[in-house]
Amino acid sequence: MKTTLISKENNEAKLKMEFTAEEFDAATDKVYRKNRKDFQIPGFRKGKAPRSIIEKHYGEGLFFEDAINELFGVNYAQALKDNDLDVIDNPKVDFGELAQHKPLIMDITVALSPVVEVKNYKGLDIDQVKEEVTDEEVDKEIESLRKRNARSVVVEREAKEGDTVNFDYAGFIGEEQFEGGTAEKQELKLGSGMFIPGFEDQVQGHKAEDEFDVNVTFPDDYGAEKLAGKDAVFHCKLHEVREEQLPEVNDDFAGDVSEYDTLDELKAHTKEDLQKAKDDQHKNDAQNALVDRLYKENEFDIPDVMVEEEITAGVNELDQQLKYQGMSIDMYLKYLGKDMDALRSEMKEDAHEKVAKRIILKSIAEAEDIEVSEDDLQAELQRLADQYKLDVEKVKENIGESNMGMVKSDIRLKKAMELVYDNAKVKFVEPPAEEEKKEEPEEAPAEEEAPAEEEAPAQEEAPEESSPKRRGGKGAGTR
């Protein structure tokens, strides 16, 4: 197969894919062998007729279409990659003469992602917050590290809020034990609110081997309708009470939880890490502000297909988020009282902005001849590996060779953003006062975000179950 780029201008490319007569014949024969089992020709057992006989009955070009699709499907993506074409829509394909023992020639026209002239992307003024990490923030991080390394220790005393208990329970309404209201060796952290109101409070004050009753009333909006609003009693037996014991913050603690030998070293490096995170965040905010300005100051047409593809990507991302929360997108739309068309319409403005910003950065990369080196790619793969705590080879495997071009494209856009930032007039400013932060209105959650679970209707979120858990979910259930 030979590919030739004929032209690349006005956001359109023309290329020619040429297959030899031998390649086209081989593809046609492959299709015949794959499909001959479906043909019943008089005088032959089904699937046993020679290709020439089948073609006499149905025409010489019977297998041409599938053969063309086979060759195109295998080679088109590679042709785009070889010619560095960022295609945004399905190609238009014209064919020359189609015949056995003749070469196959495809003349292909593709629409490309626009490249525009971006005005005034150098020398922009931008304020960037410069904020020093405080000792209080370091202490807070050390305390968080301390809590993550807490030990759970069995104690011989009455349970109190914050303890974790291990216990059995059996639920009754009147004299009848109800289905699903029984569990053995159940773990529950008191004060977590995992069980229905009043339950956890009545477990407090009991110690291991105690047997006692818990009297509660199921909420009116409980997920299992047969229990909603009903009075119930749970016969309980407590097996174990455990409390969290936090390690003492000293040099031994530093050695146990980090690579540092002393607490002072741990604090010093913690401060460095926090400072880097703050600096990176404020730099990222400044970069985003610069791109926001370029978006507002540069107007150009954006192909509808690019916006629609961005909306579809947003819908798919939302669908995945909802699945992690145990919801479907249909349930989510029903909860909001919307249909898919309304959701896509609401996402259109944001999608348009995202696409426009990508076009701006890509156009700057084109104007500045920004390239992505192999070192750039390896550095990004290493960053992803560190972020997700995986080997680089595993990251490459997860991404897949076919998607590596997207990774390179993202790197190129980042380098374009860095160029805009490096050429900006950055003024470092103090962070806003706490009073100013409080006065800023809280940003309303985007409607496409999944609602918090406690806001969703209980009947839609949880199946009918009968435990004392908050939502009637299986076992303890979550909020």
**What pLDDT was estimated at residue 84?**
86
- Average pLDDT value over all residues in the chain: 89
**What pLDDT was estimated at residue 476?**
34
Tell whether pTM > 0.85.
no
Distant-in-sequence contacts of 99-105, Cβ < 8 A, 24+ apart: 99/60, 100/25, 100/28, 100/60, 101/21, 101/25, 102/21, 102/24, 103/18, 103/19, 103/20, 103/21, 103/24, 104/18, 104/19, 104/23, 104/24, 104/68, 104/71, 105/16, 105/17, 105/18, 105/19
**What pLDDT was estimated at residue 460?**
34
Low-confidence spans in the chain with pLDDT less than 70: 435-466, 470-479
User: Quick one: angle between helices 392-399 and 374-388, nearest 10?
Assistant: 100
DSSP sequence for 314-378: HHHHHHHHHHHTT--HHHHHHHHT--HHHHHHHHHHHHHHHHHHHHHHHHHHHHTT----HHHHH
356 CB contacts (<8 Å, ≥6 apart)?
A: 295, 300, 302
SS3 category, 216: strand
DSSP code for 424: S
**What pLDDT was estimated at residue 139?**
97
**What pLDDT was estimated at residue 341?**
96
**What pLDDT was estimated at residue 272?**
97
Neighbours of 220 (CB within 10 A): 9
**What pLDDT was estimated at residue 43?**
86
**What pLDDT was estimated at residue 380?**
96
Cα separation, 52 vs 39, whole angstroms: 13
Domains of the chain: 2-111 (3.30.70.1050), 151-245+458-479 (3.10.50.40), 253-448 (1.10.3120.10)
**Spatial contact of 62 and 38, defined as CB atoms under 8 Å apart:** no
**Spatial contact of 314 and 125, defined as CB atoms under 8 Å apart:** no
For the stretch 203-231, pLDDT in tens is 999 999 999 999 999 998 887 888 989 99
Neighbours of 204 (CB within 10 A): 15
Residue 166 CA neighbour count, 13 Å, CB half:
10
**What pLDDT was estimated at residue 457?**
29
| Bridge partner list, 238 | 167
**What pLDDT was estimated at residue 440?**
52
Element (H, E) at 304: helix 304-324
**What pLDDT was estimated at residue 40?**
87
* Strand pairing class (125-129; 425-429): parallel
